[in-house]
Amino acid sequence: MTTTTTDGPTAAAGQVTVLGLGDMGSAIARTLVDRGYRTTVWNRTASKSAPLVDAGATAAATAAEAVAASPLVVVCLLDSTAVDEVLGSVDAAIAGKVLVNLTSGSPSQARANERWARERGAEYLDGKIMRDPPYVGTPNIMFPFSGSRSAFEAHESTLQVLGSIAYHGEDAGLAAVEFMAQVAVAYELLIGFLHALRLVQAEGVDVAEFAERIAGSVVAYPPLLLSIGKAVKSGECPPDLGSLNVQAALMDDMISHRESIGVEAMRMRQVKELMDDRIAGGHGEQGFSSLFELLAKRR
């Protein structure tokens, strides 16, 4: 995987088409206009192109007309249903273009889009967006890409204008894999955090002050994440956070404490179940990372 960051205005900017002018598509088109790209825009609700036209973009009457205007076509729509509808209306006009789809979606949708483009003589890059519209055009927004390597290399300097970028490989689904995994980690972490806030509030502790202390203690997590990643890759799971035998001894107290103050204990019960399962299998001397072994079969 290669990662690069935005490097300021591009001197010899080219032509780009942007399909979709919601909050994100508008931020992308606006950034391209501001960096000197000859930008053609199209949106289902045509009125949304007005601010961009005022800024210097050209509005096309149809998606196919917009696609015809530029060698590089960026799509940023609500979801895959919208992408299918818009690309359906473009159809053969995509031949010879590089199609960059930044719409959120699954790996299988990305792979289907890649086939669609290839069958029509276009190159396909799938990209995902990992932050909000105000960060577009800064290094503080990440765009993972996957798909055509030659398309990525040919348009890397343009893509860098949007933010920090990383190329994950020729399989068009890999950017979506990265996106979904990153989003999943965020949700899992944050729902755990919300449970902890519920717990401390139930005990009369100030939740904002507790949040400050947690913000201070999460700096210890990056080394732990790296060592867990290595442990899972090697299959050797040393007693990170102590052995499972020791960790499991705490779980009943964790669960009963939550239940005694009326806080949902479902997540702790799941952790305990996994630890007990591992210990019963003779792996009690291993660490937390060894729970990984049980996660594939629990669908």
Contact 170, 158 (CB under 8 A): no
Of these, 30, 35, 48, 120, which contacts ligand NDP (CB under 6 A)? 48
Q: What is the DSSP letter of 130?
A: B
CA distances, 73 to each of 56, 101, 217 (Å): 18, 8, 44
Residue 201 Cβ vs ligand NDP, minimum distance, rounded to whole Å: 29
92 by Cβ neighbours in 10 Å (0-12 / 13-18 / 19+) ranks as: exposed
Cα(63)–Cα(60) distance, integer angstroms: 7
Residues 6+ apart with CB under 8 A from 169: 1, 146
Cα(101)–Cα(97) distance, integer angstroms: 12
For residues 135 and 292, which CB has a smaller minimum distance to ligand NDP in the complex?
A: 135
Count how many residues are written for the chain: 299
**79 to 98, contacts with ligand NDP by CB under 6 A?**
79, 82, 85-86
Of these, 29, 75, 77, 177, which contacts ligand NDP (CB under 6 A)? 77
Please identify, among the stretches 6-14, 72-80, 252-260, 261-269, the one whose residues bind ligand NDP according to the rule CB under 6 A. 72-80
**By CB under 6 A, residue 169 contacts ligand NDP:** no
**By CB under 6 A, residue 47 contacts ligand NDP:** no
Question: Amino acid letter at 71?
Answer: P
**By CB under 6 A, residue 254 contacts ligand NDP:** no
Cα(256)–Cα(165) distance, integer angstroms: 46
**107 to 166, contacts with ligand NDP by CB under 6 A?**
129, 132-133
Residue 73 Cβ vs ligand NDP, minimum distance, rounded to whole Å: 14
**By CB under 6 A, residue 78 contacts ligand NDP:** yes
> Contact positions toward ligand NDP, by CB under 6 A?
20-25, 43-45, 48, 76-79, 82, 85-86, 103-104, 129, 132-133
